[in-house]
Structure 1
Amino acid sequence: MKIAIAGATGFVGSRLVEQLQAQGHQVLILTRSPQQASKRFPQAQVVGYNPLKSGDWQESISGCDAVINLAGEPIAEKRWTPAQKRVMMESRQIGTQKIVEAISLATSKPPVLINASAIGYYGTSETAKFDETSPAGTDFLAQVCTAWETAAQAASANGTRVVVLRLGIVLGENGGALGKMLAPFNAFVGGPIGSGNQWFSWIHRDDVVKLIIAALTDTQMQGVYNATAPNPVTMTDFAHTLGTVMNRPSWLPVPNFALEALLGEGAIVVLQGQQVMPTQTLSRGFEFQYPTLKPALAEILG
């Protein structure tokens, strides 16, 4: 298959490219940094693009067997100023609209679009349990996810099968949320973030990649699927398990005010959470390689 990927140099995208190329697929990378991408993935076709603007790059979509859109401004890297919130929204909503526009213009239209979203769609709760049928929340992240998914679903008007994957907190080596958590544990001052009661709906990066690849060929997959392991944990349980795997203490909590001082409103990403179940994903017969947390962390940190 010839597969176009936006967001190919990110935490999930880079592993996905490696797996697809290992399986013999041809990868076309849409990127704002073509030189960097070409150096990192010399066997891939690289097309430079501005994700917020129409352009010649859109012609490269024609003839592809699939499009995978993982692109978007990182959520928890910077304070949520009004300008940053606008960037977070536009990078997803407009960026996806431009990819859908490219599909609509293609003389040979890709039969499937796999588009990322996030479990932020559901809002936050310490008591509720969410699955793919649950309604959207009302906070900013829920609004972003709703706009993101609406933009992606528009591709179905072209006859393209649309699969939306609501990603949980992706765990893997050398980056992501786990990369930020390891330093205090390595310094023997690790512990839960915030109250510790908030839910931590996670997924191993290899399972995300496996699910994306499954969606490429399973023509019955359509609509929304939660990309979360079937066994979410509380933040306290996560910290305890991480400490056990690392053989480090896990009792020193990170106070709310420390994160709020750093991230402002963006601290909601880690101070509040949601218990998300992959009901639709399991109904498709998908088998998680890492359904429980301890073996997942042991593999990543082993």
Structure 2
Amino acid sequence: MHILITGGTGFIGQAFVNTFQADYDFTVLTRDISNAQNIFSHISSDSIKFISELHELPSAIHIDAVINLAGSPIMDKMWSAKHKHVLESSRWEITQHLVDFITTKTITPDVFISGSAVGVYGRQGDSSIDEKHLNHYPEYASKLCEHWEEIARTCCPSTRTVILRTGIVLGKDKGALQKMALPFKLGLGGPIGKGHQYMSWIHIDDMVAAINYLLQHESASGAFNLTSPNPVTNTDFAQKLAACFGKKARLTTPALLLRLLLGERADLLVYGQRVLPTRLLDAGFTFSFDVLDQAFSAIYDA
């Protein structure tokens, strides 16, 4: 199987390529070919290729699957009007380009797997929600993801399309934990606001395994929540993360302070969603790390 992947140099993309380098051939669409070549220098050039534009795809290569994980990091900068344009274009434009290539039969993959996030639901309090939940709270992150998904769905019905509604992906010194862990290591970590908001998380190994499962599961289509079956409150998450370093989660970050520091981005931390992966479980996927203690043990005790 030959996979065209965007976002291949990101946290999830790297993990997927490295995990399945012996099983698939890859073409990585990237803005920085030199950087991508360095990242994947351990993989044979026979198994991985790099392009900076879709039109560079050799006509002789048949693309069996497209995995679209591209998107500028959502928490890195203030959500100014200018940066919101970056967040939107980095998701919407590449997805539209891929859809155009597929719908015009320029490439004819069997499956199109495209990214999204649980932020599509917006803030939902402590109610348990799954893919059937359609009452999305109208805030920026939700609208960003909704339009991202709308573009991807225009591939249907010509190509099996899967939408990945991803939660907080956990891996050692990468992804969310790369920035989150330091204050906890120093004994300065703790809950955000009241700490009642839910955090829907997934271990990186389950993340890539679930993507592969949906890639191979020919009856799977539509939106899937890629989150553990056991979301936790922010307080519980903070306490368990602090315990990994022999610390206590004593310090609370007031929501007002967070808003002063992060602006509108703070809403992603102050509010949350209690998201369940109902469709993934119904499809037969089995999690290796379904509770947070297991995930943190694998990350920090290994």
Calculate the TM-score normalised by the size of structure 2.
Answer: 0.93
SS in 1 for 2:155: helix
Query: Residues 140-289 of structure 1 correspond to what in structure 2 (within 5 A)?
Result: 140-157=140-157, 159-289=158-288
Give CA deviations for 1:107-142 in whole Å, capped at 9, x if unaligned: 450010011100011110223221001113311111
Tell me how far 1:104 sits from its aligned partner. 2.4
1:176-213 Cα distance to aligned partner (Å, 9 max, x none): 11121211111111111222011111000111100111
Indicate the SS of the match to 1:115: strand
For the residues of structure 1 that align with 2:32 and 2:237, how far apart are their CA atoms?
Answer: 35
Q: Deviations 1:30-68 (Å, cap 9, x if unpaired)?
A: 00011110121133201113xxxxx62366696111000
Map of 1:76-155 to 2, 5 A cutoff? 76-135=75-134, 136-155=136-155
| CA distance in 2 between partners of 1:199 and 1:100 (Å) | 34
Contact 1:232 1:275 in 2 (8 A): yes
SS in 2 for 1:246: coil
**What's the TM-score, normalizing by structure 1?**
0.93
For structure 1, the residue ranges without an aligned partner over 5 or more in a row are 50-54
User: Percent of aligned positions with the same letter in both sequences?
Assistant: 40
Contact 1:126 1:275 in 2 (8 A): yes
Q: Distance in 2 between matches of 1:28 and 1:290?
A: 30
Out of 163-172 and 128-137, give the one that drifted further. 128-137
Amino acid at match of 1:282: L
Amino acid at match of 1:147: H
Displacement, 1:257? 3.1
Matched-pair contact (CA < 8 Å) for 1:229–1:290? yes
Count of paired positions = 295
Q: List, as ranges, runs of 4+ consecutive aligned residues in structure 1 with deviation greater than 3 Å.
A: 57-62, 105-108
**1:52 aligned residue:** none
1:46 and 2:50 matched: yes
Quote the offset at 1:228 in angstroms.
0.5
Letter of the 2:264 partner, please give it. E
Asked if 2 retains the 8 angstrom alpha-carbon contact of 1:100 and 1:154, the reply is: yes
Structure 1 residue 217 displacement after superposition: 1.0
Aligned AA (1:93)? W
AA matched with 1:32: R
Residues 61 and 106 of structure 1 are in contact (CA less than 8 Å); yes or no, is this contact kept in structure 2? no
Separation of aligned partners in 2, 1:61 and 1:67: 16
